[in-house]
């Protein structure tokens, strides 16, 4: 594996071999609780970042994959395009990276893992002159009731700009922007917001106006976009300090 960065007890590496990718697939299978190995054709097209715990014999504790596109004309080859109509992004000028299959080992609960993962992503974004990061951010399970405050918060504060907003494509969706009338309880909303999505939002990310009900993965997910140029300067400095 090629080392991207090391911080404290964790190091982030770029997968180099089929064995590296296989280790990522095994961690995904464990983290997502699937009854079959979590793998698909996108694995062969993506770069894979692996985060290891150096104090536990290099145990793999986090992984995610990245698919790079030169501009929006390639958006239809993304994983997300299976679930969302992304035609609005076809005119995006600049390199895009889709981040997917993000997971952390269920036995590890250390916020430094997420920081190192984002530091590695920041290094990759800077090295490859990426203009937009995007992907599907998932809520566990397919029932919406426990996430209503989180979805209300997304509606009121984090909907994407109309010029980029995905349209409905999947057969089973929750149109939270159209259906929810409640004002969000901010504390409840943030407690139920997935950590990965929370990080996107803190950096200025935005979401689709509907969630896809993905029964195969037993998740609800929203399309999430982050224009690199829109990240607040203080956040950029923080991310780059981790990435160095």
The per-residue pLDDT string of the chain (244 residues; one tens digit each, 9 = 90 and over) reads: 777 778 789 999 999 999 999 999 999 999 999 889 999 999 999 999 999 999 999 999 999 999 999 999 999 999 999 999 999 999 999 999 999 999 999 999 898 999 899 889 988 888 899 999 999 999 999 999 999 999 999 999 999 999 999 999 999 999 999 999 999 999 999 999 998 999 999 999 999 999 999 998 999 999 999 999 888 888 878 777 766 6
**Rounded to two decimals, what is the model's pTM?**
0.93
Domain spanning 2-243 has what CATH number?
3.40.630.30
Q: What is the pLDDT of residue 243?
A: 63
Helix ranges (DSSP H) in the chain:
18-32, 111-127, 148-157, 176-179, 186-192, 195-202, 233-243
For the record, the structure tokens of 119 come out as 């530091």
Return d(Cα 166, Cα 224) in angstroms, integer.
10
Helix (H/G/I), strand (E/B), else coil: 153:
helix
């Amino acid at each position: 594996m090629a080392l991207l960065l090391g911080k404290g007890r964790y190091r982030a590496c770029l997968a180099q071999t089929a064995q590296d990718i296989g280790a990522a697939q095994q961690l995904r299978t464990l983290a997502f609780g699937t009854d079959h190995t979590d793998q698909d054709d996108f694995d062969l097209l993506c770069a894979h970042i692996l985060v290891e715990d150096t104090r536990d014999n290099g145990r793999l504790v986090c992984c995610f994959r990245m698919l790079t596109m030169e501009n929006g004309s390639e958006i239809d080859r993304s994983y997300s395009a299976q679930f969302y109509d992304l035609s609005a992004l076809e005119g995006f000028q600049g390199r895009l990276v889709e981040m997917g299959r993000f997971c952390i080992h269920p036995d590890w609960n250390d916020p430094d893992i997420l920081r190192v993962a984002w530091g590695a992503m920041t290094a990759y974004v800077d090295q490859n002159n990426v203009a937009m990061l995007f992907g599907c951010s998932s809520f566990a399970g397919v029932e919406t009731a426990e996430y209503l405050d989180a979805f209300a918060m997304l509606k009121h504060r984090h909907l994407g700009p109309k010029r980029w907003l995905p349209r409905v494509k999947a057969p089973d969706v929750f149109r939270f922007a159209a259906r929810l009338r409640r004002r969000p309880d901010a504390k409840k909303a943030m407690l139920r917001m997935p950590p990965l999505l929370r990080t996107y939002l803190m950096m200025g990310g935005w979401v689709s106006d509907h969630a896809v009900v993905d029964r195969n993965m037993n998740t609800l997910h929203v399309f999430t976009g982050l224009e690199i140029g829109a990240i607040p300067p203080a956040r950029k400095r923080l991310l780059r300090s981790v990435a160095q």
